């Protein structure tokens, strides 16, 4: 396995700050906007975005966690069942501007599942997508992010790994992993 650093902790911090300022440009004071982190990995991105926005704006932006397990199109196709994560949404989505947040956009299937899962909490006024990494040329569905931290050209066989200190990583970083033939 070959592991290549594509975003170090300093660049990741700058990316998060830039994404927050782009959100502020489009959402102002966030009175009608909410953030939904896609479980499991989008949770860390959403929490970092929420924390940075709170520092900049001086107030908490409503942030929830959305599990898409039972809305995935591969849910019954796996040999071992997927373990569901908790959905934690303490607000109505009805009429709100929703920002879905995930770490990596690959095929678009997780985002499609999130759109289905989110509807159970109301009909939003609009939905935007924020991702740290947009893996170009890998989409199975016509889904594109509104906000992108970094775009990566990658092969189907490669994987993008986002590591956070909150997950006991040495430091925040984003890696491109290539399986090597043995």
Domain boundaries, the chain: 33-69+88-156
Over residues 125-151, the mean pLDDT reads 95
Q: What is the mean pLDDT of the segment spanning 141-166?
A: 94
Is residue 14 scored above 80 in pLDDT? yes
- Residue 180 above 90 pLDDT? no
Please give the backbone phi and psi of residue 16, each rounded to the nearest 5 degrees, phi first.
Answer: -60, -45
The pLDDT, as a whole number, for residue 78 is: 57
Question: What pLDDT is stored for residue 30 in this prediction?
Answer: 96
Instruction: Give a three-class secondary structure readout of the chain.
Output: CEEEEEECHHHHHHHHHHHHHHHHHHHCCCCCEEEEEECCCHHHHHHHHHHHHHHHHCCCCCEEEECCHHHCCCCCCCCCCCCCCCCECCCCCCCCEEEEEEEEECCCHHHHHHHHHHHHHCCCCEEEEEEEEEEECCCCCCCCCCEEEEEEECCCCCEEEEECHHHCCCCCEEEEEECCCC
- Topology given in CATH for the domain delimited by 33-69+88-156: Rossmann fold (3.40.50)
By percentage, how much of the chain surpasses pLDDT 90? Answer: 80
pLDDT of residue 76: 55
Task: Check whether 84 has a pLDDT greater than 80.
Answer: no
Which pLDDT value is given to residue 72?
64
Higher pLDDT, 45 or 80: 45
pLDDT value for 1: 86
- Backbone torsion region of residue 60, taken as left when φ is above 0, otherwise alpha when ψ lies between -120 and 50, otherwise beta: beta
């Amino acid at each position: 396995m070959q592991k290549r650093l594509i975003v170090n902790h300093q660049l990741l911090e700058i990316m998060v700050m830039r994404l927050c300022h782009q959100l502020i440009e489009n959402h102002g004071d966030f009175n009608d906007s909410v953030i939904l982190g896609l479980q499991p990995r989008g949770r860390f991105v959403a929490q970092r975005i929420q924390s940075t926005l709170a520092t900049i704006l001086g107030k908490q932006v409503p942030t929830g966690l959305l599990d898409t397990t039972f809305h995935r199109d591969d849910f019954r196709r796996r040999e071992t069942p997927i373990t569901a994560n908790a959905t934690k949404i303490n607000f109505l989505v009805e009429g709100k501007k929703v920002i879905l947040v995930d770490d990596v956009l690959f095929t678009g299937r997780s985002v499609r599942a999130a759109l289905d899962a989110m509807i159970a909490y109301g009909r939003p006024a609009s939905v935007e997508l924020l991702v740290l990494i947009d893996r170009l040329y890998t989409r199975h569905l016509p889904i594109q992010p509104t906000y992108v931290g970094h775009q990566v050209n990658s092969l189907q066989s490669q994987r993008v790994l986002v590591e956070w200190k909150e997950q006991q990583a040495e430091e925040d970083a984003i890696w491109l992993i290539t399986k090597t033939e043995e």
